[in-house]
Structure 1
Amino acid sequence: MQTKEIKSLVEFIRESDSLGPFSDLVLFRGQAKQGNLLPGVARKNPKRDTTKEERQILQQLALQGASLLNGAGETELDRLIYAQHYGLKTRLLDWTSNPLAALWFACSDRCEGDVYVYSMEADDLLEKDVYSKDPFVIAKTRVIQPRMNNQRITAQSGWFTLHRYSKTSSSFVALDKNPQARKYLSEYRVPAKFRLSIIHSLDRHGVNASTLFPDIGGLCAHLNWRHRLAL
């Protein structure tokens, strides 16, 4: 997987526009660290099979959060997606169909240093009938399209990869180490010294905390940043 250096928003747009001339679905992910494209539940210890605990957590979420899950959907996958956006560790990894959103998530991370954006030509990985299946027993790691039933998913043009625990390797396998997925990935590195100028360019084009998190929290985060109050 080749790594390309990004120094400006214009440069990134040029690169993202050149992707997938024969692909209908290209997804993007921005993050502070290089590689290790694993979902939250597997990042600390990918060898651990968390399936039993994940099922128990979802059951407790449905019981304890019954009054909070209005509009989340009826299936286990619906609840996984909904809870993912509120911080629950799941076997979902966030992606977006908006390359500028991914670039913002990478450059706005509080970690210092270079940051990374990944693109994935996802047509061959898309699971179209996923809501009728048990998300914990899928045969392969797959791309899934969420229902647009909350403002954050809609604002962020959200997609996900749904990761399986591989019995063969006794682990969750990172996408960048998965031979079936790796060939569809590209990597972009943003050097630390260009991050701030890119964030300002993105804001000028309407990509910021208030547009990606369309609630009072997102607005407050944006105002803190805009008026130089953010730490």
Structure 2
Amino acid sequence: MRHLDGPVKSISEYISAVEETIKHAKSSDSVVVFRGESKVYDTPCQPTIFRTQLSKSDKFFEKNLFEEMSANHLTNGKTYLEIAIDAQHGGFPSRLLDVTYNCLAALYFAVTPYYTKEETSGDSEDGMVYIFFLEDLYCPTGNNINEAYNACINHEADWFSGQELFQKNHKLIDHIKKNPRIIAQQGAFILFQGERLSSFPNYRYEAIKIDKNAKVQLRNDLRLYFGIHTGSIYPEEFNLVSEMIRKSERVSSESFSLEGEMNLIFHNIKRLTEHYLDTIELAEETEYQKLVEE
């Protein structure tokens, strides 16, 4: 893994860094996915299940969790993998790592903490975007990936369970249109196998640091130019509240009337006049007459 020189401070710098990184990696035969993290972790790109002691004390913790989710109607998943995806986006521990095919969505995550936190709470720390290069892609409904996931949580296959060698076989699970959040994030997952964390090997990903002092501007630019914000990345109704309030502040409540329409005309004339005055100020002398006529 290499870091580009210095943290990026703008979207244009970021796009250039992504292009340079992909070109340097010679990734024409790889599937490229991205992940953003809003701070620099000692162990980056770590699935949540490996941060809890419960999974270490009970190897059937995941299976028990999924069965409880099904019993309490917190999931409609028909396979353990589908339930795991619901668990991942429901705030439960999971061995799946969220990634995205959209580098700008990854940038959003690098400059914005999880939606339950204040948007500015991570602005004192640099963010990171990781670019992964993987050779194989697994269909989320395929037998092979579902059997692999079942083996991870059932611990029935003697040749597989507990074998550290197979923990290093990280698998990219393709985009699945299971819920609006995955669709909005253009999301996919990397499956971490085994009972202990086996970190993603350094040679298979690169890192781009995001300047902490640019986070506010980057969030504003992502919203303005690409329509990427908390309400679009997490499209559940409760996450749309702040964006709807922000837009509501700009919605006109002026009643339709002659006075209102005339006020709008005068406002537009004022703006147009200001535009031509600014243009004349910068114009060549030969252009004055034409501009005055306009």
TM bracket, shorter-chain basis: 0.7 to 0.9
Counterpart Cα distance in 2 of 1:143 and 1:115? 23
Q: Does 1:137 align with 2:148?
A: no
Which of 9, 12, 15 aligns to 1:13? It is 15
- Alpha-carbon offset, residue 218 of structure 1: 2.3
- Alpha-carbon offset, residue 50 of structure 1: 5.2
Aligned match of 2:198: 173
User: TM-score under structure 1 normalisation?
Assistant: 0.82
> What are the Cα deviations for residues 15-57 of structure 1, in whole angstroms up to 9, with x where unaligned?
2234155145211111123242210011245993653111111
Q: Structure 1 residues 131, 184: closer, same or farther in 2, change over 3 A?
A: closer
Aligned match of 1:178: none
Compare the two structures and name the one with the higher helix fraction.
Answer: 2
Aligned match of 2:51: 43
Q: Does 1:27 align with 2:39?
A: no
Counterpart Cα distance in 2 of 1:26 and 1:13? 14
Counterpart Cα distance in 2 of 1:78 and 1:143? 15
Q: Is the 8 A contact 1:76 1:134 kept in 2?
A: no
Which of 241, 248, 261 aligns to 1:220? It is 241
Output the aligned Cα RMSD. Answer: 2.6
Moved over 4 A (4+): 44-47, 223-227
The unaligned stretches of length 5 or more in structure 1 are 176-180
Task: Identify the structure with bigger relative contact order (alpha carbons < 8 Å, sequence gap 6+).
Answer: 1
- Alpha-carbon offset, residue 11 of structure 1: 1.0
> What are the Cα deviations for residues 139-167 of structure 1, in whole angstroms up to 9, with x where unaligned?
3221112421211000100111111225x
Counterpart Cα distance in 1 of 2:88 and 2:16? 31
Which of 215, 219, 222 aligns to 1:199? It is 219
Q: Does 1:104 align with 2:108?
A: yes
Aligned length: 214
The unaligned stretches of length 5 or more in structure 2 are 114-120, 153-165, 249-294
Query: What's the % identity of the aligned pairs?
Result: 25
- Alpha-carbon offset, residue 60 of structure 1: 1.2
Q: Is the 8 A contact 1:41 1:50 kept in 2?
A: no
Paired residues for 1:112-127 under 5 Å: 112-124=124-136, 126-127=137-138
Q: Structure 1 residues 217, 123: closer, same or farther in 2, change over 3 A?
A: farther
User: TM-score under structure 2 normalisation?
Assistant: 0.65
Aligned match of 1:190: 210
